[in-house]
């Protein structure tokens, strides 16, 4: 996919790409090309200059699926729907009864609640949800929190930041200005300047040094969204 900020710039970009292909003896079929379009179907999405949408042909395949009769059919359906999970609000909650059958030694028997979730999930795909492209010129804020499993308080809160930045690494590194990380653990404000670190913390510090950001403390009672997500299973 070749995208440009103007039509004139696009002509130059396309010419450069085609010249590079020719120079390396690479060929492509003309019917597979689309030139000077503002929207295109690409890898299961409809991409435009304004937003990202689900490919309606793929969505229709989900809507045409009958209720799964066995575990294999359920796995196939969930695998297909998972591709568009970012468009479905509270997706994990919407499929909780269905995913319970994927647990080890679980017996597949589509009960009333699971069947209800199956149809509700299909209904969710009929809503024309779109995702806007990020605007790097606007202030960027990353909100993090962590659950109480497996790690100590300081470690888990820090790992929450590391995990978030790994997920959004490409986007955050492309920002032209610094971004802000909000945390409800006050000690993390001084992590990047700390001289005494454990082996794991040193590795995380090295990774975090790639980014241009500041850490701001915000009390947990004010962090409604990330705090609610971290307490989901409690």
Stretch 46-72: mean pLDDT, rounded? 90
Q: What residues have CB less than 8 Å from 85, skipping those under 6 apart?
A: 91, 92
Stretch 135-147: mean pLDDT, rounded? 74
**pLDDT tens digits, one per residue of 185-202:** 777 777 777 777 778 888
pLDDT band for position 227 (cuts 50, 70, 90):
very low
pLDDT band for position 152 (cuts 50, 70, 90):
very low
Domains of the chain, start order: 7-37 (no CATH), 56-130 (3.30.70), 141-230 (3.30.420.10)
Alpha helices (runs of H) in 49-152, residue ranges in sequence order: 56-63, 71-82, 91-94, 96-99, 112-124
pLDDT for 13 equals 93
pLDDT for 155 equals 62
Q: In what order do the strands lie in the sheet with 179-183?
A: 141-143, 179-183, 213-217
Percent of the chain past pLDDT 70, that is, above it, reads 88
Distance of CA 107 to the CA centre of its chain: 31
Q: Is 189 left (phi over 0), alpha (psi -120 to 50) or beta?
A: alpha
DSSP letters of 180-228? EEEES-GGGGGGGG-S---HHHHHHHHHHTTS-EEEEE--GGG-HHHHH
Question: What average pLDDT does the chain have?
Answer: 82
Measured distance CA(162)–CA(203) in Å, rounded: 10
Percent of the chain past pLDDT 90, that is, above it, reads 20
pLDDT for 24 equals 93
Helix (H) or strand (E) holding 51: strand 51-54
Stretch 206-228: mean pLDDT, rounded? 73
pLDDT band for position 232 (cuts 50, 70, 90):
very low
Stretch 53-78: mean pLDDT, rounded? 90
pLDDT band for position 229 (cuts 50, 70, 90):
very low
- Is the pLDDT assigned to residue 111 strictly greater than 70? yes
pLDDT band for position 147 (cuts 50, 70, 90):
low
Q: Among 50, 109, 100, 54, which Cα is nearest to 81's?
A: 54
């Amino acid at each position: 996919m070749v995208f440009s900020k103007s039509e004139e710039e696009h002509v130059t970009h396309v010419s450069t790409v085609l010249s590079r292909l020719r120079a390396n003896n690479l060929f492509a079929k003309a019917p597979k090309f689309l030139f000077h379009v503002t929207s295109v179907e690409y890898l299961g999405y409809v991409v435009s200059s304004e937003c990202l949408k689900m490919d309606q042909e793929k969505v229709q395949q989900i809507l045409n699926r009958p209720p799964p009769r066995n575990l294999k059919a359920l796995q196939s359906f969930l695998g297909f729907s998972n591709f568009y999970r970012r468009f479905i609000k509270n997706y994990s909650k919407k499929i909780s009864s269905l995913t319970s059958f994927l647990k080890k030694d679980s017996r597949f028997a589509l009960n009333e609640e699971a069947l209800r979730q199956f149809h509700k999930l299909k209904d969710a795909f009929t809503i024309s949800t779109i995702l806007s492209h990020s605007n790097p010129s606007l202030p960027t804020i990353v909100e993090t929190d962590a659950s109480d499993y497996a790690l100590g308080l300081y470690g888990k809160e820090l790992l929450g930041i590391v995990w978030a930045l790994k997920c959004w690494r490409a986007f955050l590194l492309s920002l032209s200005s610094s971004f802000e990380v909000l945390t409800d653990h006050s000690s993390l404000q001084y992590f990047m300047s700390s001289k005494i670190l454990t082996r794991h913390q040193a590795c995380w510090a090295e990774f975090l040094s790639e980014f241009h950001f500041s850490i701001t403390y915000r009390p947990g009672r004010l962090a409604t969204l990330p705090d609610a997500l971290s307490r989901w299973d409690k």
